[in-house]
Amino acid sequence: MATTLTAKPEAKIRKVNFKFEKPFPKHWYNDNPVATHFMNAQHLAFPDGEKFFIRSVKAFADVYKNDPELRKRVDNFIGQEGTHYAEHQKFWDIMESQDLQPMKFVDVFRKTAWNGLETWARKTFKKNNIGNKVALSVTVALEHYTAMLAESGIINKDITEGKMPEEMKNLFMWHAAEEIEHKAIPFDVLKKVDDSYALRISGMLIASWGLWFYLGLGTVMLTAQDKDVNKK
Ligand SMILES: [Fe+2]
Ligand SMILES: [Fe+2]
């Protein structure tokens, strides 16, 4: 059957196994410590963020369970995000071996974003399921961001070519491609749950603050921990 321009891409779950050898270059992105720690902050933020995306979509299983096509797409979304977080999390061990303390950021991130803000919001705004709806709209907004960043990473070869070890480039390119494949899936769930524009805007505001705040915090914390930063 011919693929039409309006067809939604299939979010395939691919088996991957990226391997990072020790010792891994400490300033692996373009020999630039700050840029490297911005990328390292993504290795630290993605896994917990992706677990949040999965629970945010699953909270509305009742909405999509009787729609076989959407249910299958959600299963693939969950499968892709589950593979992403496992692959990124492998790099935490390499960061430890580089005399960095990745868990210091992860602990702050978990305490404030997930055990703090998310738990509080889901409990406090139970009426009309507002807390869960906002969490889903934040997920949709973050998927929009990750797909935009993914697209710019794929299109702008200056960001990737010759800037990092091949295995790391392959990890980010694979993740980027899958982000583009699945970006519409949580949005399609949100449209079924609540098509309110105000809800989408509130998700975008929270996501915009959270994404850049935590990536910035991770970059600052890792750069401060890096004893070799001044040797550059
Ligand atoms: Fe992802
Ligand atoms: Fe995603």
Question: What separation in Å is there between the alpha carbon of 138 and the centre of ligand 2?
Answer: 12
- Whether residue 24 lies inside any domain: the answer is no
Question: What separation in Å is there between the alpha carbon of 227 and the centre of ligand 1?
Answer: 31
Question: What residues have CB less than 8 Å from 22, skipping those under 6 apart?
Answer: 94, 97
Length, in residues, of the chain: 232
Using alpha carbons, select from 94, 91, 88 the residue that is nearest to residue 23.
94
Identity of the amino acid at 11: A
CA dist., res. 8 & res. 184, Å (int): 8
- Whether residue 116 lies inside any domain: the answer is yes
pLDDT band at 2 (very low <50, low <70, confident <90, very high): very low
Cβ atoms of 109 and 214 closer than 8 Å: yes
Q: What mean pLDDT comes out for the span 177-188?
A: 97
Measured from the alpha carbon of residue 139, the closest ligand is 2
Residue 37 sits in which domain range? 33-231
Using alpha carbons, select from 7, 1, 45 the residue that is nearest to residue 181.
7
- Whether residue 23 lies inside any domain: the answer is no
- Residue 31 Ramachandran class (φ > 0 left, ψ -120 to 50 alpha, else beta): left
- Whether residue 182 lies inside any domain: the answer is yes
Q: How many domains in the chain?
A: 1
- Whether residue 81 lies inside any domain: the answer is yes
Measured from the alpha carbon of residue 87, the closest ligand is 1
To 10 degrees, the CA torsion angle through 28, 43, 77, 210?
-130
CA dist., res. 4 & res. 95, Å (int): 44
Summarised one tens digit per residue, pLDDT across range 7-56 is 777 899 999 999 999 999 999 999 999 999 999 999 999 999 999 999 99
Question: What separation in Å is there between the alpha carbon of 114 and the centre of ligand 2?
Answer: 18
- Whether residue 14 lies inside any domain: the answer is no
Question: What separation in Å is there between the alpha carbon of 81 and the centre of ligand 1?
Answer: 5
Look up the pTM and report it: 0.94
Q: What mean pLDDT comes out for the span 58-78?
A: 97
- Whether residue 6 lies inside any domain: the answer is no
- Whether residue 18 lies inside any domain: the answer is no
CA dist., res. 98 & res. 2, Å (int): 50
Measured from the alpha carbon of residue 146, the closest ligand is 2
